[in-house]
A and B are shown apart, each in its own frame.
Chain A
Amino acid sequence: MNVALLIILATIVFSAAVGIFAGHKVKMNLENWTVGGRRFGVVLIWLLMAGEIYTTFTFLGASGWAYSRGAPTFYILIYGALAYTASFFILPAVWKVGKRFGLHTQPDFFIKRYESRSLGVMVAVIGVVSIIPYLQLQLTGLGFIVEVSSNGAIRSNVAILLAFVLTCAFVFTSGIRGTAWVSVIKDVLMIAAVGVVGIGVPRLFFGSHGKMFRALVEAHPGHLVFPGATPNLDVLWVMTTALLTGLGFYMWPHVFGSAFSAKSAETIKKNAVIMPFYQIPILLVFMVGFTALQVMPGLKNGDLAFLELVHKTYPAWFMGFIGAAGAVTAMVPASVLVLFASTLLAKNVYQTGFSPRAGEQTVLRLSRIMVLVIMGFALLFAFYLPNALVNLLLIGYDGVTQFFPGVVLGLFWRGVRRSGVIWGLTTGFVLAAVLVFSKHDPFLGMNAGFVALVVNAAVTVAVSRFSGAKAENSGQMA
């Protein structure tokens, strides 16, 4: 038994125990399970949202892109700042509507605002379809991290299976409260890991980060300006991708839903102000990728750059620490993803679509069963169809960002109509899928999802205008 292995196992078991314990005194109903009884203050909301933002993607994808593509990876640093800025205006309004009407999920919002159950089911289905690849991404990433950092002592599939069991356990018992508390452990480990490696590695190999960047510019003159090492991810792509992901971030059903757990609109607003500070450690992650490119060129899979470089540089016990941080960093987002995906299925597909009379306890029971079903799906994908990490994420983003016009216009424009949102959403979603799957992404240099979003917004407004002022609901909620 090696030290790394011991550290990894101890950390994930301890984290799951904290998660399970977090909910043990709470009488579980749907309100407590999904939105923590709407009682989270600034600190818990902060931890929860940070938990959702720093995923395995931060470890692997951002450094991997820095390694293999160069400057286009900078969009990751940009989009967070845009997302928090937009959330400053959007989320408090969302929270107020949620409080007033007792909403738990994003489809609940659409159902209430547009008085349409079918729109709610549609939003729920798109949400779940977008979440599953994202969830799988966490599991696949976790497998990578644990296998490499335990030096092969824990095989990827074993690690995934173990994380699956533990994550299901704390989501099942504690709901969102479990996620928030495990986030505490995760944030500390993650920031420490990124700080030590991101500051340490450029110094060890080059003396300082400045020397590292200069050496990189000598060797690869185009790597640190757009389009970096890519043929087609030029400045227009970065601009449109930053906008798409920045506006889309809070459209993820799990992030949108997390806003409901705040205890007041003020809490969320304050949170939006401090969130951009979280972006800074991503700079350190980039530096690890850039250092790796020079120290160990020619890796087949750029997503492994972070881990391989740490493996080469640090002792085995430290790898265990990285593995532990990485594993928890996957488990936290996985838990909240599965929590909301299962609530969407139980509440907004089953209850809304088929059985409006089902009681709240039935919905909670079904949600908990769905946790196992959805995690099971993600597990199968992770085992049999593990794809390149970032591509999956971008397809998911293309999908969920199509909710943006429906949410924002719904909050701030009285004139928006149900038919407008249904047509806009459908057009946007189909267009994004067609462009991405026919390999037209980027489209005319722009992110395909962004093109779809613009078309979606135009259709939403146009159809709302033409469908007339009468008949349909025109209430303003915020």
Chain B
Amino acid sequence: MGDAPGKEVLMPKGTKIALGFALIPFFMLVLALPFVNRIRPFIFGLPFLLFWIVLWVFLTPFILMAAYWAENRFNRKSGQDKS
């Protein structure tokens, strides 16, 4: 339904950048875990593993803000983002 057959939708530049940003939480909060699975040093009173997780959870909204900014900055007038 919808689009004409064969018309592939290319990913706009802004979306690519936004996806790049979005990979950061997945790297830091999933792939990095085996390397941060330790108690010391304590930072802000938190054992290191918990500190690491809290840090990246806290930074995630800012990373998403950057993604949001990138989409708006680069996807303008492409017609992709208006509903």
Which residues in A have some Cβ–Cβ distance to B below 8 Å?
71, 74, 77-78, 80-82, 84-86, 88-89, 95-96, 99, 112, 208-211, 213-214, 217, 221, 224-226, 235, 238-239, 242-243, 264-266, 269-270, 272-277, 279-280, 283, 286, 414, 473-477
Which residues of the partner chain B approach A269 to less than 8 Å between Cβ atoms?
Answer: 68
A243 and B30 contact, Cβ closer than 8 Å, known pairs A265-B83, A476-B9:
yes
Interface of B (DSSP majority class): helix
Q: Which 10 A-B pairs have the closest CB atoms?
A: A210-B45, A475-B1, A276-B60, A81-B60, A273-B64, A276-B61, A81-B57, A224-B47, A78-B29, A265-B83
Do residues A270 and B68 form an inter-chain contact, with CB atoms below 8 A?
yes
- Contact partner of A226 (CB less than 8 A), chosen from B1, B31, B37, is B37
Do residues B54 and A414 form an inter-chain contact, with CB atoms below 8 A?
no
A283 and B2 contact, Cβ closer than 8 Å, known pairs A81-B29, A89-B22, A225-B37:
no
Instruction: Give the shortest distance, in Å, between A273 (CB) and chain B (any CB).
Output: 4
Which residues of the partner chain A approach B49 to less than 8 Å between Cβ atoms?
Answer: 71, 74, 224-226
Nearest CB in chain B to that of A112: its residue? B1
Query: With the chains together, A225 CA to B9 CA distance in Å?
Result: 45
- Contact partner of A74 (CB less than 8 A), chosen from B9, B53, B58, B64, is B53
Which residues in B have some Cβ–Cβ distance to A below 8 Å?
1-3, 5, 8-9, 15, 18-19, 22, 25-26, 29-31, 33-34, 37-39, 42, 44-47, 49-50, 53-54, 56-58, 60-61, 63-65, 67-68, 81, 83
- Contact partner of A214 (CB less than 8 A), chosen from B37, B42, B61, is B42
Do residues A217 and B67 form an inter-chain contact, with CB atoms below 8 A?
no
- Contact partner of A78 (CB less than 8 A), chosen from B8, B30, B37, B38, is B30
Do residues A414 and B8 form an inter-chain contact, with CB atoms below 8 A?
yes
Instruction: Give the shortest distance, in Å, between A81 (CB) and chain B (any CB).
Output: 4
Do residues A476 and B68 form an inter-chain contact, with CB atoms below 8 A?
no
